[in-house]
Amino acid sequence: MKTNEIMPLNGNNTSQSTLNHDDVGDNHMLTGMDTPMIPTAFLISDKEKKERIAFHFTEIMDTLGLDLNDDSLKGTPERVAKMYIEEIFSGLDPKNKPKIALFENKYQYEQMLVEKNITFYSNCEHHFVPIIGKAHIAYVSSGKVIGLSKLNRVVQYFAKRPQVQERLTNQIARELQKVLKTEDVAVIIDAKHLCVSSRGIKDDTSATVTAFYGGVFNTHEKIVELQNFISH
């Protein structure tokens, strides 16, 4: 998939079985709407997950030849494990999903509302290196509204997973459509992938832009209006 282009997200690519791992990873293909997880994902405790990650990260560091007796390195496996579970991959666990209360739209505001430039940090699921970007969220109230900070929290929740940008865009949009009880949701994400800039092709200037336009946003007129909101 090329960078620097808007990718519409209506299609769902299902014919992945003949692809090898390098094809999928280096071309950053989307393999599904839901984060692929095993059925037993939440049968072990966070404490046990941290212990297992620390154990295996020790193996990785040891294999690389790093001296785990060194003062600076010896705490790293536990630090990485804690960071994975409590911070950067905490969005894998539904118990961390933001609870969102709906309010009546008492201001009678019936135009689009845009929350722009929501900074997020995610990680590429193919290389486990950062994706750094901004999300712009828009919706038209169905009569109900949510607190502005909740839009931000939904972005952060889905960002805190190993991700591909296309899925992140869709997951945020689908969740907001559900909680806001409307199809009229748009999500635009503009992000930099460190697996593209710091390794591989080493392109430091490209960015990837993805968009989801639901309901009333799926017209040329509304998309232009939305772009104007975002660029001001």
CB nearer to Zn ion: pick between 3 and 170: 3
Neighbours of 5 (CB within 10 A): 9
Q: Which residue of the chain is nearest Zn ion when measured via CB?
A: 195
CB nearer to Zn ion: pick between 123 and 141: 123
CB nearer to Zn ion: pick between 171 and 208: 208
Beta bridge partners of 131: 122, 193
User: Does residue 126 bind Zn ion (CB under 5 A)?
Assistant: yes
User: Does residue 167 bind Zn ion (CB under 5 A)?
Assistant: no
Strand, coil or helix: what is 119?
Answer: strand
Q: Which of 124, 137, 168, 176 binds Zn ion (CB under 5 A)?
A: 124
Residue span binding Zn ion (CB under 5 A) among the ranges 77-85, 111-119, 120-128, 183-191: 120-128
Structure-token pair, residue 136: 């712009």
> Among residue numbers 179 through 208, which ones bind Zn ion (CB under 5 A)?
195
Task: Measure CA of the first residue to CA of the last residue in the chain; give whole Å.
Answer: 29
Residue span binding Zn ion (CB under 5 A) among the ranges 45-53, 69-77, 105-113, 121-129: 121-129
Neighbours of 3 (CB within 10 A): 18
Task: Compute CA distances 227 → 49, 195, 220, whole Å.
Answer: 43, 28, 11
Site residues (vs Zn ion, CB under 5 A) = 124, 126-127, 195
